[in-house]
């Protein structure tokens, strides 16, 4: 049994690291959908960062110049050999990845991505719903400040 476990660990440890392949959406996000979430762009080179930000804005992304707020998006532009890699994250959770030789290619891949469409249309990632502080016990949308699941509205005597 222990030999099997050691063999599996060794095989996984030696496995080649790979990137997520692109998944173009059948119904890509619209420019209005892309603009719904703020996007912070990060890159080591300020000129690359600026060029990538301009390309993202041209496709409809809402690029901002501050640290991302909770639930918003952040994209990191890095280099691997002669390839540009854009890694899109939200609250440090992986959303999508794009590879290309130009920032325009990266932008196109992210703009038509099924993972980005799912993120937008599902209001984030399922993992983000379980973060501490993301679950509210009181809802400002319930009449008179009622509590979900209580079966009554605030201000009414129990029936």
Q: Where are the domains of the chain?
A: 19-124
**Residue 99, pLDDT above cutoff 90:** yes
pTM comes to 0.70
Question: What is the per-residue pLDDT across 9-67, written as a single tens digit (0 to 9) for each?
Answer: 555 555 456 677 878 989 999 999 999 999 999 999 999 999 999 999 999 999 999 99
3-state SS class at 56: helix
Instruction: List Cβ<8 Å contacts ≥24 apart for 130-138.
Output: 131/91, 134/70
More confident residue, 130 or 84: 84
d(CA 83, CA 72): 26
- CA of residue 54 relative to chain centroid, distance: 19
Cβ 49 vs Cβ 78: under 8 Å: no
The CATH architecture of the domain made up of 19-124 is: 2-Layer Sandwich (3.30)
Characterize 82-119 residue by residue with b for buried, 16 or more Cβ atoms within 10 angstroms of its Cβ, and e for exposed. eebbbbbbbbeeebbbbbbeebeebbbbbbbbbbbbbb
Which tokens in the block code for residue 122? 């599902």
More confident residue, 113 or 14: 113
Q: Which of 71, 88, 66, 77 is nearest to 37 (CA)?
A: 71
Q: Which residue has the tokens 């063999």?
A: 7
């Amino acid at each position: 049994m222990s030999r099997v476990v050691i063999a599996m660990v060794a095989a996984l440890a030696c496995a080649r690291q790979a990137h997520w392949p692109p998944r173009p959406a059948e119904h890509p996000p619209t420019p209005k959908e892309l603009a719904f979430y703020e996007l912070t762009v990060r890159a080591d080179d300020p000129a690359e960062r600026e060029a990538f930000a301009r390309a993202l804005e041209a496709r409809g992304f809402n690029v901002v110049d501050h640290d991302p707020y909770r639930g918003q998006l952040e994209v990191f532009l890095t280099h691997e050999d002669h390839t540009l890699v854009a890694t899109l994250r939200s609250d440090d959770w992986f959303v999508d990845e794009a590879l290309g030789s130009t920032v325009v290619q990266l932008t196109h891949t992210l703009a038509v991505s099924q993972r980005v469409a799912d993120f937008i249309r599902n209001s984030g990632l399922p993992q983000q719903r379980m973060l501490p502080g993301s679950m509210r016990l009181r809802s400002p949308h319930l009449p008179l400040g009622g509590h979900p699941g209580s079966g009554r509205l605030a201000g009414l005597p129990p029936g």
